[in-house]
């Protein structure tokens, strides 16, 4: 205390409280991952980033976010988009949909045997709703520490609004999420709503209005909007990217349509630039397998008909997407025209409880695979007094009488070749094991399609060739 009565306050800070400045080169020591950040969803979202996805109501933000989360948990990117990151555990914080509405969104639209088949999400994807009135960041910290999540999706910011504008709450949450990202080395994607763009304009950060300030707290920002000329399409554009240059703009924006992928997953299928490349034969095979499965053909049936393994049939079916049927309406028509059940189908249905016998039956009737039987017929004889044709008693005699070459395939099975070109056979017939419903060996007609072969069941070979 000085003589004038004033109290002298020592304002000098404690040396222990002073953070000593670091050399700029020392900052590289703190980087946890060397090299460029790995991609989670192409250029839109990378590892270690706090990303913001915004769009107007009804554009499909939640659908896209769930599709991205499922792919990250599988370790496979959405078709055509880069994903260099490894598979990781994902937490989807759903603040919007109830379990009931979520179930309705991700299941088959039509029931099979009274049951709606749900989509099978990746095992490493978890969907959770925090308790009411819980501190979101504290709850997230606990969930990450206890379950080792690496990526988090929050759907969406509108659920944390406490006031009409809500800027203060959402901005504070974004700042806390940044700190949480740095402390726990997380990748976080946050969804936010915006107004609909003005007519003839594309979505932009301006549509966030006062919430545009949220973009300043994010490492990357991208938006989803309704196509200005086709309301059934959506497009994606980047607006900010702290880690690299913006790649996806309004000039090359990915365009997508919304549909049920695999019949159960509601998701986006993107334009031709992002579609896998298949040959015409491969697309035909995938579509035929899809249509056959819709008609309740088993994988064993598919394996037999197309001469592939059951695992290959399952893998091809998973590649199916609705766009593949474009230009293949004849395949759909073939399946629809063959709806009338045959007598053999009715017999199979009566014995459906005997799974072992059903699995031992080789092949299915033609309508299960959308192909019409096209067995060869003898040439008519123009003589006025035709000679008496020889009596043909067995199917093999009929095939030989039609001029087919008898030989054996690579599995030592007897075959009769109708059309061949050198060592390559194009059309041939084969007999298979008997079943309990036919007194004759089952005959199937095989035709090469460039990828494998399409087999057609021939019922009653003697009556088919009209041997008399």
Within-domain flag for 225: yes
For 33, residues 6+ apart whose C-beta sits below 8 A from its C-beta are 47, 48
Q: How many domains does the chain have?
A: 3
Compute the distance between CA of residue 172 and CA of residue 217 in angstroms, rounded to an integer. Answer: 10
Scanning the structure block, which residue is given the tokens 């896998």?
276
Query: Residue 179 sits in a domain of what CATH number?
Result: 3.40.50.300
Integer Rg of the chain from CA:
32
* Same domain membership, residue 299 and residue 202: no
Is-contact 86 75, C-beta < 8 A?
yes
Closest to 414 in 3D by CA, of 391, 398, 396, 389: 396
Domain limits for position 358: 280-343+353-362
Picking from 232, 254, 274, the residue at the C-terminal end of a domain is 274
For 385, residues 6+ apart whose C-beta sits below 8 A from its C-beta are none
* Same domain membership, residue 209 and residue 334: no
* Same domain membership, residue 448 and residue 326: no
* Same domain membership, residue 188 and residue 46: yes
- pLDDT means per 10 residues, the chain with 468 residues, are 45 56 70 76 96 96 97 93 96 94 91 88 96 91 96 91 74 95 96 91 94 95 94 95 91 93 89 85 88 86 88 86 75 49 39 35 31 36 46 69 79 79 74 52 73 64 38
Element (H, E) at 92: strand 90-94
* Same domain membership, residue 246 and residue 290: no
Q: Token pair for residue 327?
A: 């230009």
If DSSP codes are grouped into helix, strand and coil, which group holds residue 234? Answer: strand
The burial of 163, by beta-carbon neighbours within 10 Å (0-12 exposed, 13-18 middle, 19 or more buried), is given as exposed
Within-domain flag for 48: yes
Picking from 253, 274, 295, the residue at the C-terminal end of a domain is 274
* Same domain membership, residue 140 and residue 238: yes
* Same domain membership, residue 319 and residue 250: no
Within-domain flag for 423: yes
Q: Token pair for residue 124?
A: 């490493």
Within-domain flag for 375: no
Within-domain flag for 221: yes
* Same domain membership, residue 139 and residue 59: yes
Within-domain flag for 23: no
Closest to 108 in 3D by CA, of 331, 261, 323, 276: 261
For 211, residues 6+ apart whose C-beta sits below 8 A from its C-beta are 54, 157, 166, 167, 170, 192, 194
Is-contact 186 220, C-beta < 8 A?
no
Is-contact 153 90, C-beta < 8 A?
yes
Compute the distance between CA of residue 186 and CA of residue 342 in angstroms, rounded to an integer. Answer: 59
Q: How many Cβ atoms from other residues are within 10 Å of residue 1's Cβ? A: 7
Picking from 274, 302, 317, the residue at the C-terminal end of a domain is 274
* Same domain membership, residue 155 and residue 55: yes
* Same domain membership, residue 56 and residue 197: yes
Within-domain flag for 209: yes
* Same domain membership, residue 286 and residue 250: no
Within-domain flag for 367: no
* Same domain membership, residue 439 and residue 407: yes
């Amino acid at each position: 205390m000085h003589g004038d009565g004033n109290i002298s306050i020592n304002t000098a800070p404690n040396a222990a409280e002073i953070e000593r400045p670091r050399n700029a080169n020392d900052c590289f020591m703190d980087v946890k991952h060397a090299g460029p950040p790995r991609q989670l969803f192409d250029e839109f979202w990378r590892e270690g980033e706090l990303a913001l996805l915004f769009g107007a109501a009804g554009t499909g933000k939640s659908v896209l976010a769930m599709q991205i989360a499922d792919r990250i948990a599988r370790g496979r990117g959405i078709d055509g988009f880069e994903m260099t990151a490894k598979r990781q555990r994902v937490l989807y914080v759903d603040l919007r949909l109830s379990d009931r509405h979520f179930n309705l969104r991700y299941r088959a639209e039509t029931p099979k045997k009274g049951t709606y088949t749900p989509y099978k999400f990746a095992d490493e994807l978890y969907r959770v709703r925090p308790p009411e009135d819980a501190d979101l960041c504290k709850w997230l910290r606990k969930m990450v520490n206890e379950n080792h999540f690496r990526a988090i999706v929050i759907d969406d910011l509108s659920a944390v609004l406490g006031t009409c504008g809500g800027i203060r709450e959402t901005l504070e949450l974004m700042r806390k999420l940044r700190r949480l990202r740095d402390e726990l080395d997380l990748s976080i994607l946050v969804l936010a709503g915006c107004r609909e763009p003005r007519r003839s304009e594309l979505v932009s950060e301006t549509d966030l209005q006062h919430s545009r300030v949220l973009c300043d707290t994010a490492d990357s920002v991208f938006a989803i909007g309704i196509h200005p000329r086709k309301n059934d399409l959506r497009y994606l554009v980047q607006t900010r990217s702290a880690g690299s240059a913006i790649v996806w703009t309004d000039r090359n924006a990915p365009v997508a349509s919304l549909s049920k992928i695999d019949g159960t997953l509601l998701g986006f299928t993107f334009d031709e630039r992002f579609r896998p490349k298949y040959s015409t034969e491969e697309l035909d095979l995938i579509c035929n397998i899809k249509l056959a499965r819709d008609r309740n053909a088993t994988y064993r049936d598919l394996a037999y008909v197309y001469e592939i393994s059951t695992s290959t049939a399952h893998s091809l079916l998973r590649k199916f997407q609705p766009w593949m049927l474009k230009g293949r309406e004849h395949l759909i028509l073939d399946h629809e025209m063959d709806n009338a059940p045959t007598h053999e189908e009715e017999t199979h249905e009566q014995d459906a409880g005997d799974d072992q016998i059903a699995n031992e039956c080789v092949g299915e009737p033609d309508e299960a695979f959308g192909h019409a039987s096209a067995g060869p017929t003898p040439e008519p004889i123009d003589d006025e007094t035709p000679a008496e044709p020889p009596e043909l008693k067995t199917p093999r005699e009929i095939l030989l009488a039609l001029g087919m070459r008898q030989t054996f395939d690579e599995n030592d099975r007897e075959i009769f070749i109708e059309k061949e070109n050198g060592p390559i056979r194009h059309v041939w017939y084969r007999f298979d094991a008997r079943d309990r419903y036919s007194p004759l060996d089952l005959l199937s007609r095989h035709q090469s399609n460039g990828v494998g072969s399409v087999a057609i069941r021939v019922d009653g070979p003697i009556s088919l060739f009209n041997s008399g």
